[in-house]
Amino acid sequence: MVNIIGTYECKVDAKGRLMIPAALKKQLAPMLQNGFVLKRSVFQPCLELYPMEQWDEVMQKMNKLNRFRKKNNDFIRRFTAGVKTVEVDTNGRLLIPKDLIGFAGIGKEIVLSSAINIIEIWDKDKYENAIDAASDDFADLAEEVMGNDDLDGIS
């Protein structure tokens, strides 16, 4: 299981390339050879970078959905809309396709934020706004999500 740690600020060049920060690249080293999948986030105006192994796990779950149920078929179509396979080049750069840059409203400054086993890619201003907007409700959200007495080993 992959557990990616950290939040990193970096820049995107005119061609849509970002240099993966060294600390993050070190964590991703075991996954670099297999590549990644980049997709639109379901809930936020950001992108999600999945190591291929994590993407394959998600696809195994999706493959269990009955495609003859309209809501399942609609979900699969929307979830996979704009999905791209991407690789980190020999210089440590990742190319973000133009359509995904447009979806996330990515400018020159971005934030790479770990989300357990994937990385969210945000326009820096949108990331700061999302974090600020959620700060008021975070204590209530933490209690609701993690305060369940049924969870073993989490305090």
Average confidence (pLDDT) over 13-35: 94
d(CA 70, CA 48): 25
CA atoms of 123 and 9, how far apart (whole Å): 10
Residue 2: inside a domain: no
Residue 76 is predicted with a pLDDT of 94
Give me the mean pLDDT over the 26-33 stretch.
92
At 137, the pLDDT band (50, 70, 90 cuts) reads confident
Number of domains in the chain: 1
Two tokens, residue 92: 């440590």
pLDDT of 147:
81
From residue 22, alpha-carbon distances to 6, 68, 88 in Å are 12, 45, 12
Residue 65 domain-assigned (yes or no): yes
Percent of the chain with pLDDT over 90: 79
Q: What is the pLDDT of residue 150?
A: 59
Q: What is the CATH number of the domain that holds 136?
A: 3.40.1550.20
What is the tens place of the pLDDT at every residue in 53-96?
999 999 999 999 999 999 999 999 999 999 999 999 999 999 99
Q: Which domain holds residue 65?
A: 7-146
Give the global pTM. 0.88
User: What is the arithmetic mean of pLDDT over 118-137?
Assistant: 89
Residue 13 within any structural domain of the chain: yes
Determine the average pLDDT of the residues in 122-141: 85
User: What is the model's pLDDT at position 153?
Assistant: 54
Structural domain contains residue 11: yes
- Model confidence at 135: pLDDT above 80: no
